[in-house]
A and B are shown apart, each in its own frame.
Chain A
Amino acid sequence: MTVSPNPVSPDYFAYPSDADTLARLRAKLGLTAEAEGLLDIAYTTVDSPVGALLLAATPKGLIRVAYDIEDHDRVLDALSQRVSPRVLRAPRRLDAAARELGEYFGGQRQVFDLPLDLSLSRGFRQLVQRHLPQIGYGQTRTYGQVAELVGNPKAVRAVGTACATNPLPVVVPCHRVLRADGTMGGYVGGSSAKATLLRLEAA
């Protein structure tokens, strides 16, 4: 690889301050896109006792809460395909959700009061997810009891699937649903996350 009589290096037009400039321009893009109605999905990440959580919202409300083990990049790719590719890291729309989650993990909040966008789930799954907030803080139900709650007592397995595919874990409390034998059952965030939430709520 010889260097032939040669071009200007692209570096000549770069500045050491470009990282700061770009961070500022990107933040401004988020605000302008929001103002112009182009920000279909805004997201941010927050730290929590159950690891980093991805929070994503449409103009309608919170559409996704994702655990680290779900792989945030994959979750964003899926949102891009299923909802809209106009996705930006723009924390402001998530301010209320981040604050309420902070309060919840701090033991100061038992009920979430956030607009939700349930459009990632349909039919029976969405029906179950709509009912889950009726299980109060610190309480638990079995999959069978939830099936009865939604008026379809035989649909125990479908309730399990609805819980496993809950796009809004923590906020929509699928962690409060256990197996009939008292064992925890699966959880989208892993069983230790489920145990952590149940312990938090039992305190």
Chain B
Amino acid sequence: MSVSVKQPFEKVVEQHGGTVLRVCRVLLGVHDAQDAWSETFLAAMRAYPGLPDDANAEAWLVTIAHRKAIDVLRARSRQPAPVEAVPDAPTGLGVPGASDGDLWQAVRALPDRQRQAVAYHYVAGLPYAEIARIIGGTTDAARRAAADGIKNLRKNYPGAALKGAPA
């Protein structure tokens, strides 16, 4: 067995597909998350042979998702779509006893960097140094953006503070 072996891409999709979907959902809302997922993995598959064997695949995928999400947001702002007011909330799914609509509204109301930092730290579990590399700025700034994001989420969506995640 060699130390670092490039896994078949299927394994990358299997291991990180769920995380990337949730990250895309936080960045873009339920509506655009699936398209962003598809574009992220297609771009990743294209670039995969050049990825170093020992690279952190999850951080790499999140970086790609970050860029795809920015593309989507730019396209959105260029053409203020008349249907963009459609509620993001899926019906009959999600957190019992909570209104998903409120959660997504709270997430959407966050400044971009806070939403990104929350997604990359609390959903993808990336360290702040890695997040700083993705969104720019210092590690401390990334940490602050995540903390502020969580504070704002708690304020606007109190249900979000119930559970702990490993630090």
Closest residue of B by beta carbon distance from A39:
B45
In the complex the two chains form, is B94's CB within 8 Å of A15's CB? yes
Closest beta carbon of chain B to A6's beta carbon, Å? 4
Q: Which residues of B contact A87 (CB under 8 A)?
A: 8-10
Main secondary structure of the interface of B (DSSP, over half): helix
| B42 in complex: contacting residue of A8, A10, A32, CB < 8 Å | A32
Please state if A8 and B161 are interface contacts (CB–CB under 8 Å).
yes
| B49 and A86 within 8 A (CB) | yes
Asked if A108 CB lies within 8 Å of chain B CBs, one says: no
Most buried by B among A4, A11, A13, A18: A13
**CB proximity of A102 to chain B, nearest CB, Å:** 23
Residues of B within 8 A of A16 (CB): 93-94
Which of B60-68, B72-80, B117-125, B127-135 sits within the interface?
B117-125
- Does A123 lie at the interface of the complex (its beta carbon under 8 Å from any beta carbon of B)? no
Taking the complex as formed, is B160 at the interface, i.e. its CB lies under 8 A from any CB of chain A? yes
The closest CB in chain B to the CB of A77 belongs to B5
Given contacts A3-B164, A10-B123, A86-B49, contact A81 B95 (CB under 8 A): no
- Complex Cα distance, B7 from A32, in Å, reads 21
What is the CB-to-nearest-CB distance from A40 to chain B, in angstroms, rounded to a whole number?
9
Least distance between A66 CB and chain B CB atoms (Å): 13
Q: Mark A22-62, 1 if CB is under 8 A from B, else 0.
A: 10011011001100101001010000000000000000000
Q: Is the CB of B165 within 8 A of A15?
A: no
What size tier do the contact residues of chain A reach?
35 or more
Residues of A within 8 A of B118 (CB): 8
- Residues in B whose Cβ lies below 8 Å from that of A36: 42, 46
Count of interface residues, chain B, beta-carbon cutoff 8 Å:
42
Residues of chain B lying within 8 A (CB to CB) of residue A25: 17, 21, 34, 37-38, 41
| Minimum CB–CB distance for A79 against chain B, Å | 7
C-beta contact mask, B123-165 vs A, less than 8 Å → 1, else 0?
1010000000000000000000000001001000000111111
> How far, in angstroms, from A15 to B30 measured CA to CA in the complex?
10
Give the CA-CA distance A79 to B7 in the complex, in Å.
Answer: 10
In the assembled complex, the Cα of A26 lies from the Cα of B16 at a distance in Å of: 12
Closest approach, in angstroms, between the C-beta of A22 and any C-beta of chain B? 5
B82 at the interface (CB under 8 A from A): no
Contacts of A79 in B (CB 8 A): 8
B49 x A8 contact (CB < 8 A): no
Given contacts A8-B118, A26-B13, A33-B45, are A85 and B7 in contact (CB under 8 A)?
yes
Inter-chain contacts of A17 with B (CB < 8 A): 90, 93
A residues less than 8 Å from B150 (CB atoms): 7-8
